[in-house]
Amino acid sequence: MEHTSQFCTFYLDKLLFGVELKGVQEVIRSLEMTRVPLAPEVVSGLINLRGQIVTAVNLRLRLELEPAPPGADAMNVVVRSEDGAVSLLVDEIGDVVEVEESSFETPPETLHGSVRSMILGIHKLDDRLMHVLDIEKACRMTEVAETAAGR
Amino acid sequence: MSDDEIVKDFLVESYENLDRLDRDLVGLEKNPRDREALAGVFRTIHTIKGTCGFLGFAKLEKVAHVGENLLTRLRDRQLVLNPEITTALLGMVDAVRQMLQEIESTGKDGEIDYPDLRETLTRLQQLPEGPGRDGTMPAAASGTQTGVPASMGEILMQRAGVTPMQIQIAVQEQEKGDPRRLGEILVDQGAAGAGDVVDALRVQQSQGVQSAVDSTVRVNVGLLDKVMTLVGELVLARNQVLQFAGRMKDASFLAVSQRLNLITTELQEGVMKTRMQPIGNIWGQFPRTVRDVALGCGKQVNIVMEGKETELDKTIIEAIKDPLTHLVRNSVDHGIELPEQRVKAGKDRAGRLVLRAFHEGGQVNIEISDDGGGLNVERIRHKALERGLISAEQAKRMTEHEIFNLIFLPGFSTAEKITNVSGRGVGMDVVKTNVERIGGSVDVQSTAGQGTTVRVKIPLTLAIIPALVVTCGGDRYAIPQVSLLELVRIEGEKVSKGIELVHGAPVYRLRGRLLPLVYLNRELRVSADANSALTSDGAVNIVVLQADERQFGLVVDQIHDTEEIVVKPLRKQLKTIKTFAGSSIMGDGKVALILDVLGLAQRASVVTKSRERTLTDKVTDAAAAAGEKRTFLLFSGPGDSRMAIPLSTLARLEEFPVAQVEMSGNQWVTQYRGQILPLIRLSVAMEERRARLLALQAPPAADAGPIQVLVLNHEGRSFGLVVEQILDIVDDRADVKSAATRPSVLYTVVIGDRVTELLDITAVLASADSSVARATPMGRAAGAAN
């Protein structure tokens, strides 16, 4: 890793999250979505990104946060995962920040559960903490099969 | 062009040529005088040799060089191709292929320089007798002189002023038996200069090369895919424009959009065609495969190919290559008998393997038939029983055709099978899986003593398909047209009359036959009110679908048009949902999901997978079974009837020798886990009262075999139910129900495709109680049994 790296930041339930900028394909306003019945709950639906069909993941649910208030328009952070583009639905987009490696710390031991595996660590910014999201882990939903959707 | 690119091109070209070499060499073995094929083989090796000399692959060049020398002898008819030479040449092709792979992965042509192979090739090129004419030929003449478009004479006439008369004399010389080439004769006669002949040879060569280069262009597959995607987008945009044009009343806009429509359709077809490849491309390697396998097991096989030119989408061609190879190998290995056996059976020594491809109903059929011994029904039945893939009961009632298709079951074939030649062996289940993955199907037909035919049906393309668009719960779904049979709309009063219930399972009488109905909203769980479609006053739309030879009606909210849709695969995260085959972008830019009819049918239990699975699988699955599907224990009851109880009522399955059965009054009992377990004989409990009383007195016959007992817990009581035979455990919804025809039966259902009586345990107990004293509660045993 280099000395500094750039992160695309966004907010979820007032928390600041960041993904590495080079993993981000684009950021777009909310698009019309087609729901996928029987899919895991965290899959919000499919969106048409200029001819490319992209799965939208409800990041709030994925990270076990409170569901968004009804009527809130989510933003799409389209990231490149191993399995193609995936759109992460977030509340609001923040700035692109440049952070030094020295400000990084692994997540505290008190953070546990499945969320911990998705958070690589914390960057201590001047005024707040930025959660560094593991894109692959967040996009991978192997553990949630059809049956898990609950009959 | 960088060096890397040159090497890459060289590799691509060489691989292609090598595939053709295999084919040509095997063809030559049958017809050694085919000069054109020989010239082709020679040219290929010559090109490879030349290019690797240039690229610095010395070892590869060495091998190609000895091969070329041998080929020169053959081409000049100094030697005649025999099986030994063919084998050596094929060995050389393999060596070259191996080195090419080495180059591909490491950039070098490897460490091995195949001394044995080179020695064999060198030895073989020694002429059997007499001195060769080696060296008497001018160097230039060692180029190609056969199988080239314009004749030598023509070129010399045009370019060197040789008269037709002179050529005729030279040709006559040749016809009289002069072994010299036309050019040589002319030079010797002084009709043409040696330089002219060399020039002419060059012209000849370039013509030969050009004709191939001019008509085809090598295109990167990635680029082709991209063009395909773009055309897909264009199709979508066209659909949008057409929708728009429908609303606008502008005549000229309508005309323009119509033109756009036509052009797009044509473009789409054109692009689709660029991806189409004749199936001959993959069949090309089969003669070699067949030859190798046949040699390996001492058989003689002629391969016949029909419909080589049948075209298929590139992706499909790739997907079926391995399964087809497998089937071909199998046919030679297991299908066709040894020559002696064949002669004994009154057949030709050499077996006949026919590959046939043809279009039928928007699908491609590929048949692989052999005239071998055919499948052995009894052996397959036995094997399947032995491996627990089917129950004895199933084995009894299965048709011959069903038995044959057992060979596609996972677990049917094992490595050990290759040696004991019975049915077709290894990995047929893999063949089936691979074919089904691309929306195809496999079927096998066989006649004892006459041969076996495996028929593979596959779709033409996967990229763009016609589909019916429906709505359900406000969303649109596309149903591939292939599975669509018809559309039915029931209106007004007929709704309540038309849809009937068979014990809660809705059915519709379609031309006198009961069509099970599946509600899409329920299956997808998109509608809160599961019965909405039933009770609504509006019309009911039924899409009649076919899945795995079973029909069912899919009830949807609305039916729209059929459209050509571009299939986009679902991402990995959603691939586990078997109900959807993919997604597509509709005319308005929104995404719609494509229903997987087979997956949907399985979900709705229209099609059971039960028969396809092993018993053990079923038991494990039974534990995980969820939702409306229930797990049943199947057993045969009195009168050889097929009966079932829900597995949940069952504690254990036991088998007791008759010696352990004791009499307690009129009651059969046995000591079971420290308790006395009353045994109720189902055959007795279901008898008419009078007969029952008589039967009750009888103790079990001492010589009878062990008794099969279902240990049940019912309302706090434990008892054993003696049945004729325990058959199977299956998952089923047991949808189709009808009234019981005899007491102690709840109702008759269809489980695993067969009529089955569901036992009324309460009634059985009551009837047993009415004749014997109530058995003591056995809480502890029940607890232990669980």
Q: What angle do CA B672, B675, B676 make, to 5 degrees?
A: 80
User: Given an 8 Å threshold on Cβ–Cβ distance, is B591 in contact with A48?
Assistant: yes
Q: In this predicted structure, what is the pLDDT of residue B2? A: 60
Contact B353, B370 (CB under 8 A): yes
| A67: closest CA of chain B, how far (Å) | 20
Q: Which of A40, A45, A83 sits opposite B571 (nearest CB)?
A: A83
Cβ contacts of B583 on chain A, cutoff 8 Å? 34, 46, 53
Comparing B137 with B471, the larger pLDDT belongs to: B471
CATH number of the domain at B170, please.
1.20.120.160
pLDDT tens-digit readout, B496-524: 777 888 877 888 888 878 889 998 888 88
Quote the crossing angle between the two packed helices B115-124 and B58-75, to the nearest 10°.
20
B577 in reach of chain A (CB within 8 A)? yes
C-alpha of B575 from chain center: 20
Residues B300 and B241 in one domain: no
Contact B585 A53 (CB under 8 A): yes
Number of domains in chain B: 5
Residue B610 lies in a domain: no
Q: Are residues B263 and B326 in the same domain?
A: no
- State percent of chain A over pLDDT 70: 91
Query: Is the model's pLDDT at B375 over the cut of 80?
Result: yes
| Residues B738 and B649 both lie in one domain | yes
Task: Collect all residues of chain B within an 8 Å Cβ-Cβ radius of residue A40.
Answer: 573
Q: B369 with B264, same domain?
A: no
Per-residue confidence band for A8, with pLDDT thresholds at 50, 70 and 90? very high
Confidence class of residue B133 from pLDDT cuts 50, 70 and 90? very low
Size of interface A-B (CB pairs under 8 A): 70
Please give the radius of gyration of chain B, using alpha carbons only, rounded to the nearest integer. Answer: 36
- The structural domains of chain A, ordered by start, are 4-149 (2.40.50.180)
Would you say residue B534 has pLDDT above 50? no
The reply to whether B455 and B479 lie within a common domain is no
Q: Of the spans A54-58, B386-390, B406-410, B759-763, which averages the highest pLDDT?
A: A54-58
pLDDT tens for B20-48 read 777 778 777 777 777 777 777 777 777 77
Helices and strands (DSSP H and E) totals, chain A: 3, 12
pLDDT band at B610 (very low <50, low <70, confident <90, very high): very low
Highest mean pLDDT, choosing among A91-105, B97-111, B265-279, B640-654: A91-105
pLDDT of B361 above 70: no
Residue B291 lies in a domain: yes
Across the interface, whether the CB atoms of A141 and B526 are under 8 A apart is answered no
DSSP readout, B713-728?
EETTEEEEEEESEEEE
Query: Do the domain assignments include residue B672?
Result: yes
Decide if B705 touches A, using CB distance below 8 A. Answer: no
Give the Cα separation of B483 and B545 in Å (integer). Answer: 5
Q: Quick one: pLDDT band at residue B531, thresholds 50, 70, 90?
A: very low
DSSP assignment, residue B557?
A: S
Mean pLDDT over residues B272-290, rounded? 84
pLDDT digits (tens, 9 = 90+) for B43-102: 777 777 777 777 777 778 888 888 888 887 777 777 777 777 888 888 888 888 888 888
Residue listed under structure tokens 């597959």: B221
Q: How many angstroms separate the CA of residue B605 from the nearest CA in chain A?
A: 15
Looking at the domain assignment, is residue B31 inside a domain?
Answer: yes
> Can you give the pTM of this predicted structure?
0.48
Residues 6 or more apart in contact with residue B99 via CB below 8 angstroms: B57, B59, B60, B63, B109, B110
How many other CB atoms are there within 10 angstroms of residue B711's CB atom? 21
Q: Which of residues 189-248 of B touch A (CB under 8 A)?
A: 229, 232-233, 236
Whether residue A46 and residue B475 make contact (CB cut-off 8 A), yes or no, is: no
Rg (CA), chain A: 15
Contacts of A39 in chain B (CB under 8 A): 574, 577
pLDDT digit string (tens) for B427-455? 677 788 778 777 778 888 888 888 899 98
Nearest to A48 among B232, B571, B589 (CB): B589
Which of B215, B233, B258 is where one domain is finished? B215
Q: Is residue B609 part of a domain?
A: no
Q: Are residues B272 and B284 in the same domain?
A: no
Tell me which of A42, A53, A82 to substitute to probe the interface with B (most B C-beta atoms closer than 10 Å): A53
Q: Which of B557, B575, B603 is the last residue of a domain?
A: B603
Asked if residue B359 and residue B226 are part of one domain, the reply reads no
Q: B75 lies in a domain?
A: yes
- Chain A positions contacting chain B at CB under 8 Å are 32-40, 43, 45-48, 51, 53, 55, 83-84, 86, 139-141, 145-147, 151
Q: Do B524 and A51 touch (CB under 8 A)?
A: no
Q: What is the CATH number of the domain that holds B518?
A: 2.40.50.180
Q: How far is Cα B159 from Cα B199, in angstroms, rounded to an integer?
A: 9
Q: How far is CA B670 from CA B192, B349, B512, B699, B719, in A?
A: 111, 65, 51, 12, 10
pLDDT of residue A148: 38
What CA–CA distances, in Å, run from B18 to B47, B68, B254, B711, B735? 11, 14, 53, 67, 57
Q: What is the DSSP string of B218-282?
A: ---HHHHHHHHHHHHHHHHHHHHHHHHHHH---HHHHHHHHHHHHHHHHHHHHHHHHHEEETHHH
Contacts of B580 in chain A (CB under 8 A): 36
Chain A residues with CB-CB distance to B604 below 8 A: none
- pLDDT at A19 exceeding the cut of 90: yes
Residue B590 at interface with chain A, using a CB cutoff of 8 Å: yes
Q: How many CA atoms lie within 13 A of B780 on its CB side?
A: 6
Q: Which residue has the higher pLDDT, B248 or B614?
A: B248
For residue B753, give Cα distances in angstroms to B283, B349, B498, B748: 39, 45, 24, 12
Q: Is the pLDDT at B609 greater than 50, yes or no? A: no
Considering the domain boundaries, does residue B303 fall inside one? yes
The complex's ipTM? 0.83
Partner-chain residue, chosen from A36, A40, A147, that has the shortest CB–CB distance to B626:
A147
**A43/B573 CB distance under 8 A:** yes
CB B477 within 8 A of CB B467: no
Q: Are residues B497 and B550 in the same domain?
A: yes
Q: How far is A101 from chain B (nearest CA, A)?
A: 32
Question: Is A83 close to B574, i.e. CB distance below 8 A?
Answer: no
CATH code of the domain containing B233: 1.10.287
Residue B611 lies in a domain: no
User: Are B258 and B203 in a shared domain?
Assistant: no
> Do B230 and B203 lie in a common domain?
no
Structural domain boundaries enclosing B327 = 280-459
CB contact under 8 A, A39 and B579: no
Q: Is B606 on the interface with A (CB under 8 A)?
A: no
Q: What single DSSP character describes residue B482?
A: G
- Rounded to an integer, what distance in angstroms lies between the CA atom of residue B574 and that of residue B582? 9
End-to-end CA distance of chain A: 45
Collect all residues with Cβ–Cβ distance below 8 Å to B481 and sequence separation of at least 6: B465, B466, B467, B468, B562
Burial of B273 from C-beta contacts in 10 A (0-12 / 13-18 / 19+) = exposed
